[in-house]
């Protein structure tokens, strides 16, 4: 009788270990992890390059607008008191143009992010990956899927 509590404790311990070993939290599995190199994707993706070209064209167009306005102001004869008002107006216009540039940049970055997320999801499903993380946070291991992502972004 004095061994019954020890026997029950041992049985409970074995049962607990069995349950914990079957737990998905503690089970060692063959989780497939994909890694992506965002820098490489941006550098090598034709889609990213096209979006970057759109941003550059938009920036150049805004610069041309500023130069055109400056030429119009310089071509006119101005009095001293009107000059200060025109300088303030020019500064206000430059801020508006810069805000427009930032809006365009944000719009293109969001568009690329949506396309990138969609491509990552497709490749992850095709490769049966359970997790995809950036290569910058990986010290060892993982399957590099950057090339496949670049292909999906064409």
Q: Which domain holds residue 11?
A: 1-30
Which tokens belong to 109? 């970055």
Measured distance CA(55)–CA(27) in Å, rounded: 48
Same domain, 25 and 61: no
pLDDT on residue 26: 47
Q: Which of 12-26, 43-57, 83-97 has the lowest mean pLDDT?
A: 12-26
Same domain, 22 and 36: no
Measured distance CA(146)–CA(92) in Å, rounded: 43
Q: Which residues, 6 or more positions from 126, have their beta carbon under 8 angstroms from its beta carbon?
A: 148
Domain count, the chain: 2
Average per-residue pLDDT in the chain? 80
pLDDT on residue 138: 81
How many CA atoms within 13 Å lie on the side-chain side of 107? 9
Share of the chain above pLDDT 90, in %: 35
CATH number at residue 65: 3.30.910.20
Same domain, 59 and 133: yes
pLDDT on residue 137: 84
pLDDT digits (tens, 9 = 90+) for 25-53: 444 445 689 999 999 999 999 999 999 99
Same domain, 20 and 66: no
Same domain, 122 and 54: yes
Same domain, 115 and 80: yes
Measured distance CA(92)–CA(97) in Å, rounded: 9
Same domain, 72 and 135: yes
Strand partners, 34: 132, 143
Same domain, 116 and 106: yes
> Quick one: 149 exposed, middle or buried, by C-beta within 10 A (0-12, 13-18, 19+)?
buried
Same domain, 8 and 81: no
Same domain, 62 and 11: no
Please state whether the predicted TM-score (pTM) of the whole model is above 0.85.
no
- What average pLDDT does range 124-140 have in this prediction? 88
- What average pLDDT does range 132-138 have in this prediction? 87
Same domain, 71 and 7: no
């Amino acid at each position: 009788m004095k061994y019954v509590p020890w026997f029950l404790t041992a049985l409970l311990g074995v049962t607990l270990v069995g349950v914990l070993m079957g737990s998905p939290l503690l089970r060692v599995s063959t989780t497939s992890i994909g890694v992506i190199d965002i820098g490489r994707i941006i550098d090598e993706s034709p889609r990213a390059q096209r979006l970057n070209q759109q941003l550059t064209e938009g920036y150049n167009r805004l610069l041309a607008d500023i130069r055109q306005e400056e030429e119009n102001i310089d071509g006119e004869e101005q009095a001293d008191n009107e000059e200060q008002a025109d300088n303030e107006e020019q500064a206000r216009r430059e801020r508006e143009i810069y805000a427009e540039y930032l809006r365009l940049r944000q719009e293109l970055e969001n568009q690329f992010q949506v396309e990138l997320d969609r491509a990552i999801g497709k490749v992850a499903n095709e490769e049966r990956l359970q997790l995809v993380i950036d290569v910058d946070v990986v010290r060892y291991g993982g399957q590099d899927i950057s090339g496949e992502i670049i292909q999906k972004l064409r």
